[in-house]
Structure 1
Amino acid sequence: MLRHRYCSRLLIASVTGRLSLGMVPVALILAAKADGHSLATASLLAALYGISPAMGLPLLGRFADRRGLPLPVYLGAGLVATALGVLAVAGTANLPLTAVCVLLAGAGCPPLEGGLRSLWPTVLPDDAHVRTAYTLDSSTQEIVYVTGPALAIALAGWLSPAAALTLAAAATLAGSLAFATAHPARTWRAAPRHPDRLGALRPPAMRPLLAALVFLGATVGALDVAGIAVAEKQNAAWLAGALPAIFSAAGILGGAIFVRFQPSTAPRPRHLAMLAAAYAACWLPLLAPLPAPLLLVAAMLPGALFVPLLTVASLTLTSLAPPGTSTEAVGWLSSAMRLGLAAGTALAGPLGGHFAVPLMAAALCTLLLGTRTGPRPLPAAA
Structure 2
Amino acid sequence: MSDLRALTGRPHAMRMLACALVGRLPEAMIALAVLLVARSHGGSYGTAGALAAAFALGATVGGPVSGRIADRVGQPLVLVATALGRGAAVAAIALLAASTLPVAAVATAAAGALTPPLEPALRALWPDIAAGDEHALHAAYELDAGAQELIFVLGPLLVAGVVALASPEAALLVTAAVGLGGTVGFAAGRPSRVWQGGRHAPVAWSAAARAPEVGLLLAVGALAGAATGLVNVTTTAFAERTLGDRNLAGWLLAAWAVGALSGGLAAAARRWTLAPDRRLTRMLLVFGAAFVPALLVRSGLPMALALALAGAALAPTLACVFVLTGARALPGTVTETFAWLTSSFLVGSAGGAAAGGALSGSGSGVRGFAGAALAVVAAAGLWQARHVPAAVLSPRE
For 1:230 and 1:136, locate their aligned partners in 2 and report how far apart those are by CA, in whole Å.
29
| Aligned twin of 2:40 | 34
Q: Which one-letter code corresponds to 1:201 in the other structure?
A: A
Quickly say closer, same or farther: Cα 1:131–1:37, change in 2 above 3 A: same
| Aligned twin of 1:73 | 79
For 1:193 and 1:258, locate their aligned partners in 2 and report how far apart those are by CA, in whole Å.
34
For 1:320 and 1:62, locate their aligned partners in 2 and report how far apart those are by CA, in whole Å.
16
Match of 1:201 among 199, 209, 215: 209
**Normalization by structure 1: what TM-score?**
0.93
Deviation (angstroms), 1:332: 1.0
For 2:345 and 2:311, locate their aligned partners in 1 and report how far apart those are by CA, in whole Å.
16
Deviation (angstroms), 1:321: 0.5
Quickly say closer, same or farther: Cα 1:168–1:267, change in 2 above 3 A: farther
Match of 1:84 among 80, 90, 108: 90
Say whether 1:370 aligns with 2:370. no
Say whether 1:139 aligns with 2:153. no
User: Mind listing any 5+ residue stretches in structure 2 that lack a counterpart?
Assistant: 1-6, 389-397
Quickly say closer, same or farther: Cα 1:212–1:93, change in 2 above 3 A: farther
| Aligned twin of 1:379 | none
Say whether 1:342 aligns with 2:356. no
Q: Which one-letter code corresponds to 2:216 in the other structure?
A: P
Quickly say closer, same or farther: Cα 1:2–1:93, change in 2 above 3 A: farther
| Aligned twin of 1:378 | none
Say whether 1:14 aligns with 2:20. yes
Q: Is the 8 A contact 2:261 2:315 kept in 1?
A: yes
Q: Is the 8 A contact 2:23 2:181 kept in 1?
A: yes
Q: Which one-letter code corresponds to 1:140 in the other structure?
A: A
After the TM superposition, which of the residue ranges 356-365 and 209-218 deviates more from structure 2?
356-365
| Aligned twin of 1:99 | 105
| Aligned twin of 1:175 | 182
Deviation (angstroms), 1:124: 2.8
Match of 2:257 among 248, 273, 282: 248
| Aligned twin of 1:361 | 375
Secondary structure of the 2:202 match is coil
For 1:271 and 1:122, locate their aligned partners in 2 and report how far apart those are by CA, in whole Å.
23
Deviation (angstroms), 1:70: 1.5
Q: Is the 8 A contact 1:205 1:320 kept in 2?
A: yes
**Normalization by structure 2: what TM-score?**
0.89
After the TM superposition, which of the residue ranges 65-74 and 116-125 deviates more from structure 2?
116-125
Secondary structure of the 1:350 match is helix
Q: Is the 8 A contact 2:16 2:189 kept in 1?
A: yes
Q: Is the 8 A contact 1:227 1:239 kept in 2?
A: no
For each residue in 1:6-49, what CA deviation from the matched residue of structure 2 results, as whole angstroms up to 9, or x when unmatched?
22321221111111001111111111110111112112211221
Q: CA RMSD in A?
A: 1.8
Say whether 1:310 aligns with 2:324. no
Match of 2:241 among 213, 227, 233: 233
Quickly say closer, same or farther: Cα 1:310–1:92, change in 2 above 3 A: farther
For each residue in 1:72-100, what CA deviation from the matched residue of structure 2 results, as whole angstroms up to 9, or x when unmatched?
11221121001001112223541221111
User: Mind listing any 5+ residue stretches in structure 1 that lack a counterpart?
Assistant: 375-382
| Aligned twin of 1:160 | 167
Q: Is the 8 A contact 2:72 2:198 kept in 1?
A: no
Would you say how many aligned residue pairs link Structure 1 and Structure 2? 373
Q: Which one-letter code corresponds to 1:7 in the other structure?
A: A
Deviation (angstroms), 1:188: 1.3
| Aligned twin of 1:377 | none
